[in-house]
Amino acid sequence: MAQFYDSISRTFNEYLLIPNKTTKQCYVNNIDLKTPLVKFKKGEEPDISLNVPFVSAIMQSVSNDSLAIALARSGGLSFIYSSQSIESQVAMVKKVKKFKAGFVVSDSNLKPDNTLEEVLEIRNTSGHSTIAITDNGLSNGKLLGIVTGRDYRVSRDNLQKKVSEFMTPIEKLITGSDLISLKEANDIIWDHKLNCLPIIENNGNLKYLVFRKDYDEHKDNPEELLDNEKRLVVGAGINTRDYEERVPALVEAGADVLCIDSSDGFSEWQEDTIKYIKQKYGDKVKVGAGNVVDKEGFAFLVNAGADFIKIGIGGGSICITREQKGIGRGQATAVTEVSRARDEYLKETGIYIPLCSDGGIVHDYHIVLALAMGADFVMMGRYFARFDESPTKVIKLGNNYVKEYWGEGSNRARNWQRYDASEDRGMKFEEGVDSYVPYAGKLKDNLDKTLTKIKSTMCSCGSLTIDQLQKSARITLVSSTSIIEGGAHDVILKEKTDF
């Protein structure tokens, strides 16, 4: 007969945290939320860590380039959705990598004999107002000058006017050597009140541009998640169907980490995908896998070579896998069991496998519960779909402003590539719904509030880091009546006002 589990499948909503002693060191600004993203040996540092424990879901209605930029600037990571052409996904990855780089390879370049009309065309198509003028019109040509919006007046200048007539020539430019550090470059910018500093090689060829705005923006976003070249970090979703074509293109585009998007990770298709990546790239390319809900699924994907494991089946707000197929497990129970398996694996091998809790988050404190139960970070879709930076438009529905939000398993997304149990190129039934979420404004404003709540909760738990929280948190089951007791009750609420 079938195997039965004695334990009840439980959700985050069935638990509360018991306070620990709050020491004088436990205040919000002293909490460190840095967490590993990919596996590492005990005593060593992971190749990639998150500054805040958030990644955005691999979904059409959530993770595009604009959301990826906003989240990376706040310390988290987006996985650009894979249910699109390889070319369009690659373009999104490239936009994120080029958004802010410290040392920026110039994308907008012209020759001295080009015209003002061509300058305006570049400005209109790329949005770049600073254009490098080189001898061959390439990013690595000999630098002859720079054109900015201050060098011409559209209302008065002839559109056929040559660039050589109005550019700021190299003789009047302050430049930096290709041997200087980013800090030294920023010091030159500040000392000379520049907006842009060209970095040139000994032979006079342009190598990089350094912009004042990048320095200012970094000061406003101190938790920015950056790679070794000071570019934003970005992930990309992949599937188990076209990975041999998609993975090389994404790696070439600069994706820092990949993640297999699938409703069920305990499959030979995922094993094949991971092994292909590891055989082709070794440890240079990191790939997460999932989703699983038990120790057997965890062990299977770890043995295949996964760099992190995603936990959760059917717990997302737009996911109806449990309804349609009867497959899944309560998220709290799944996270707890897989975390125990991870800890056992660490004792046996000395290798730590980070865990991602995907789904089941309703309230902000559920994030702390997921972390306390062993997850290293959480993946969320509904949470991020509400913001300006997500791909969908703001719509007025009745008296409320909302944004559209649909699952990858819905008929709207038609992401059949994430389902491995059929050879058909299509979907016979839905595992996700098409819906709306309340519009919430900018990502940073909302994320800052959520992070403050998380840090405040960790203070009450007496924990300064996620690692401490996992080791010392105390958790209790709650009854249905105590859940009611936990909210406002037996009073007449006043209308809320913003403050």
- Distance of CA 158 to CAs 108, 114, 155, 263, 404, Å? 21, 13, 9, 59, 46
Please list, in sequence order, all residues whose beta carbon lies within 8 angstroms of the beta carbon of residue 50, skipping any fewer than 6 positions away. Answer: 34, 35, 36, 37, 75, 76, 77, 225, 377
Whether 259 is a known active-site residue: answer no
Contacts of 494 by beta carbon, 8 Å cutoff, 6+ apart: none
Q: Tell me if residue 418 is catalytic.
A: yes
Cis-peptide, bond into residue 291, ω within 30° of zero: yes
Torsion angle, alpha carbons of 53, 59, 60, 64, to 10:
30
Specify whether the CB–CB gap between 57 and 406 falls below 8 A: no
Of 259, 418, 459, 461, which one is the catalytic site residue? 418
Q: Please tell me which residue in 196, 319, 356, 459 is annotated as part of the active site.
A: 319
Q: Which amino acid is at 384?
A: F
CA distance 259 to 199: 36
Residues 6+ apart with CB under 8 A from 449: none
As a whole number of angstroms, the distance between CA 78 and CA 85 comes to 18
Looking at the annotation, which residues are catalytic? 319, 418
